[in-house]
Amino acid sequence: MLKFNPRFIPARGAPRPKAKERALAEWRGVNVTAGESAQRNTGKAVADVMPKVLKALRMDCRQAEAEIVRVWNHLIDPGLTAHAQPTGINKGTLFVRVDSDVWRDEIVRYRRKEILERLQHSFGTEMIARISFRVG
């Protein structure tokens, strides 16, 4: 018959506290070793957290929108930029707010193709495929 040696059987439950932990628990009047171990080493490196935070804030989209506004003010005629400003981009469509219907008609009829070509030259056809002008 096979006999098991009791010193090789692993103990069940929480490990026994060490002498230092027992002394601290007796001095404090409370055993807080579980709480201390739970608070230990909970920090994460900034390099691990930042990409997730930036993705949640959609910083890449916001940076692209800011770049579009800068290029818009640089490439397009100042008389036109006084009345039309880009407001956002979504799925390849650049949304532009225009002051009035008259300016919107002027841009759509005579300058849309020129504006689209200039912006596509700067950002590529994948980023800006269309332009939508709205009065507002």
Q: How far apart are CA 30 and CA 43, in angstroms?
A: 26
110 DSSP assignment: I
- Sheet with 130-135, edge to edge strand ranges: 84-90, 93-98, 130-135
pLDDT number for residue 41: 66
Q: What is the pLDDT along the chain (136 residues), one digit of tens a residue?
A: 556 666 666 667 667 778 888 888 788 777 666 666 666 666 788 888 888 888 888 887 778 888 888 888 888 888 888 999 999 888 889 999 999 999 999 888 999 999 999 999 988 888 889 999 999 8
* pLDDT value of position 11: 63
What one-letter code names the amino acid at 114?
E
* Cα 134 to the center of its chain, rounded Å: 28
pLDDT of residue 32: 65
Domain ranges of the chain: 59-135
What's the confidence (pLDDT) of residue 98?
Answer: 94
Residue 13: CB partners within 8 Å, gap ≥ 6? Answer: none
Superfamily of domain 59-135 in the CATH hierarchy: DnaA, N-terminal domain (3.30.300.180)
**Checking phi first, is residue 91 left (phi over 0); if not, alpha (psi -120 to 50) or beta?**
left
Residue 19's CB is within 10 A of a number of other CB atoms, namely: 7
Paired tokens of 84: 């039309």
User: The pTM is what?
Assistant: 0.58
